[in-house]
Amino acid sequence: MNKKYAPLFDNISLRKGIQLKNRLVMAPMTNFSSNPDGTVTKDEVNYYVRRSRGVGMVITACTYVTENGKGFHGEFGADRDELIPSLRQLATSIKEEGAKAILQIFHGGRMCPPELVPNGETVSASAVAPEGEGQTVPRALAEAEIESIIHDFGEATRRAIKAGYDGVEIHGANGYLIQQFFSPHSNIREDEWGGSLEKRMKFPMAIIDEVKKAVSEHAKEPFIVGYRFSPEEPETPGITMADTLTFVDALADKGLDYLHVSLQDFWSVPRRGVEDKRPRIELILEKAGERVPVIGVGSILTADDAIKAFETGVPLLALGREIIIDPDWVEKVEQGRESEIKTKIDKDAQQQLVIPDPLWQAIVNTPGWFPGV
């Protein structure tokens, strides 16, 4: 290994003493490849196995915690006990390759395709449609339903524990239900679940508490709990960098094992809310990095990209599209073969890359999503 990249391969202990063998994580990415009943497919398991050998931790594609939270065709579920064997199959396969297995748990809220949820009825914090033509107006959740969904996150955590996962990541990013409660665009409630910034933080905080309660009741071994968030929204009104820094300050005191920033570009700068033009990741590290490990992500393609990002002080880096393009990325850097890393998708290499058909079709038919397409 080139000693320049050696810091990426230091191990790290998380809050509960769980050790990761290096600082590299497979980012959670939807692959559209599960069965309609919410079970994982063999193709999906093989896709994860192909990418689990090098990284210290694999965060799975999001899995829905309740029936009306299914956000994607081909998404696997954690909303009922019959799915525990399916969940176990994936966890076991990832762990056998030497990585920690983290189940990302979520509810799609107003972003769910109506055909995937009961009676075609989408729900959210408020009856506010996403921006864009032809978007469905969701139904505002009643208070009892809010409490029920919070409970469902705890139940999904219990199933993850029973299935043998090493942890869960609460998906509070990318415009889904948890973010919808935090956002002034989608949450115009006037009860205890909306209004002020503090009230908009109540739903994510309640979910964290419920997940941690499930861990304390059901986990016999240390169990990781992480939280993912998007720092800003383009909508007006929408989440600003100032909102997020207040939120991150509160999250850092919740006893989480990590915070995971959802970014397309690691070096992106704030859109509004603060005068500071430093990258968002640096502001987040300054606010919370002494209290909780932060995972950075976003267009890290080469070993040099990774080490430059790591030098900001971020302790963990997630690889998303890059680990789909080159599943051997981590091993190549570890073996001093970083010059062999591929940074564009090879459109003739689906079988070699072990990418299931639904994900492959999405990649090759979405210009600009992946380099090389």
Note if 258 is an active site residue: no
> What percentage of the chain's residues is helix, strand, coil (to nearest 5)?
40, 15, 50
Cα 169 to Cα 224: distance, rounded to the nearest angstrom: 8
Catalytic residue among 47, 165, 176, 227: 176
Cα 352 to Cα 348: distance, rounded to the nearest angstrom: 9
Peptide bond into 114 cis (omega under 30): no
Cα 73 to Cα 64: distance, rounded to the nearest angstrom: 12
Cα 51 to Cα 96: distance, rounded to the nearest angstrom: 12
Instruction: Count CB atoms within 10 A of the CB of residue 174.
Output: 18
For 222, counting Cβ atoms within 10 Å of its Cβ (0-12 exposed, 13-18 middle, 19+ buried), the class is: middle
Q: Name the residue type at position 293.
A: P
- Going by the DSSP 8-state scheme, the letter that residue 103 receives in this structure is E
Instruction: Count CB atoms within 10 A of the CB of residue 128.
Output: 19
> What SS3 class is residue 263?
coil
> What SS3 class is residue 154?
helix
| Residues 6 or more apart in contact with residue 40 via CB below 8 angstroms | 34, 76, 86, 87, 89, 90
Q: Do residues 295 and 263 touch, judged by C-beta distance below 8 A? A: no
Active site residues: 176
